[in-house]
Amino acid sequence: MNQTVSASFRSWLIPAGFCLALFTGVSAAQPAAPAAAPAALPKVESANIMDVGRAPNATIEAERKANQNQPGNNSPIWRTANSDDVNYVSIPDKQAGVLIQKSGQQWRLIRNGVITVYGAWLLALALAAVLAMFILKGSIKLHEPMSGRKIKRFSLLDRIIHWTMAFSFVGLAFTGLMILYGKYFVMPLMGGVTYGLFLLVCKNIHNFSGPLFTLTIVIFFFLFVRKNIPEKGDMAWLTGFGGMLSGKHIPAGFFNFGEKIWFWFGMVILGLTVSASGWVLDMIVPFIAIEYWRGTMQIADIIHSTSALLMTAMAFGHIYIGTIGMQGSIDGMKTGYVDATWAKEHHEIWYNDLNKG
């Protein structure tokens, strides 16, 4: 009985399946085609790494593209936050509309990776050159003894401006180096809390000394610009490097060509560049409408640090020659007068012009 029912059920099921296959467009009479190579899966752009390699559902993928803000998909939110686009804010500080400033990381890499590292090498090489000059040559002595006859070289105003500029520069250089390098050398010795207080003092000294330094540069420029105009004897001094290597006497005017390089490039160009960028960082630039955005401050910081390190490296040579590197050179800025022997040996053209007058 059971076998008869089962045979009758099979005899009814096979024709029914055949008719259903015809109705759906699939022919059961054809033999099965050989399996084709699997088609390449479409590229899945997913914010979740767990989705990579999975076959996407067409409906879900379409919905995801149509509605980027569906629950659980935070990718659009982070793309908006991690962009430099300025979004709307109702507070006066419009830069608050930039949630994450990506260029800040670039500034950090330049400041801590390029300026800090290569700046340290520059200062080390400048100090090494000064030390080598002192060891190999020693202080440059006069070939003749001092005559005792004094010649006026600088006025009282000249010396006041020079020393004000010099002391403000030393203060700025020291505090600036502490701000740039202190965390590597000073903080381990002091500890974090003490170093934080020390750096706060350095920062205030730096900020308030800057405008004074700028003022002295401007006054010093007008006092000595005429005496720093290039003259015909400057090329001879340059090619002979002032006689420092050969020992030969090379005549010079009131200022030699080395002093003129320091005046024009070290003091005027670099000094004013340091000053202008520092005023931007202090947010006290007068008469100029500047948007103090983070990007503006970062560019100003890069310019300020680079020019300050270059100026400091050049100042090592100027300070050395003006103090222990040359006999009698500091007398002019100490008393305003120099010995006639010194004037004739180092600034012969100026000395002869004085005697002609």
Q: What is the pLDDT of residue 337?
A: 96
Q: Nearest to residue 159, comparing CAs of 235, 219, 74, 233?
A: 219
Least confident of 66-80, 98-112, 236-250: 66-80
- Residue 151 is given by DSSP the state E
DSSP 304-316: HHHHHHHHHHHHH
Which band of pLDDT confidence, cut at 50, 70 and 90, is reported for residue 140?
confident
Sign of CA dihedral 168, 173, 179, 183: negative
Q: Which domains does the chain have, with CATH numbers?
A: 103-356 (1.20.950.20)
State pTM to two decimals.
Answer: 0.74
Q: Of all helices (H) and strands (E), which one includes residue 339? A: strand 337-339
Q: What is the pLDDT of residues 165-177, one digit of tens each?
A: 999 999 999 999 9
Percentage helix, strand, coil, to 5, in the chain? 65, 0, 30
Q: What is the pLDDT of residues 295-319, one digit of tens each?
A: 888 999 999 999 999 999 999 999 9
Mean pLDDT of the chain: 81
Label residues 249-269 b or e (16+ Cβ within 10 Å = b): ebbbbbbbbbbbbbbbebbbe
Residues 6 or more apart from 296 whose CB is under 8 A from it?
280, 290
Q: What is the pLDDT of residue 219?
A: 97
Q: How many CA atoms lie within 13 A of 336 on its CB side?
A: 9
DSSP E strand boundaries for 121-233: 150-152
**pLDDT surpassing 60 at residue 343:** yes
DSSP 71-124: TT--HHHHHHHTS------SSS-GGGG-S--THHHHHHHIIIIIIHHHHHHHHH
Give, in order, the Cα–Cα distances in Å from 7 to each of 10, 11, 20.
5, 6, 20
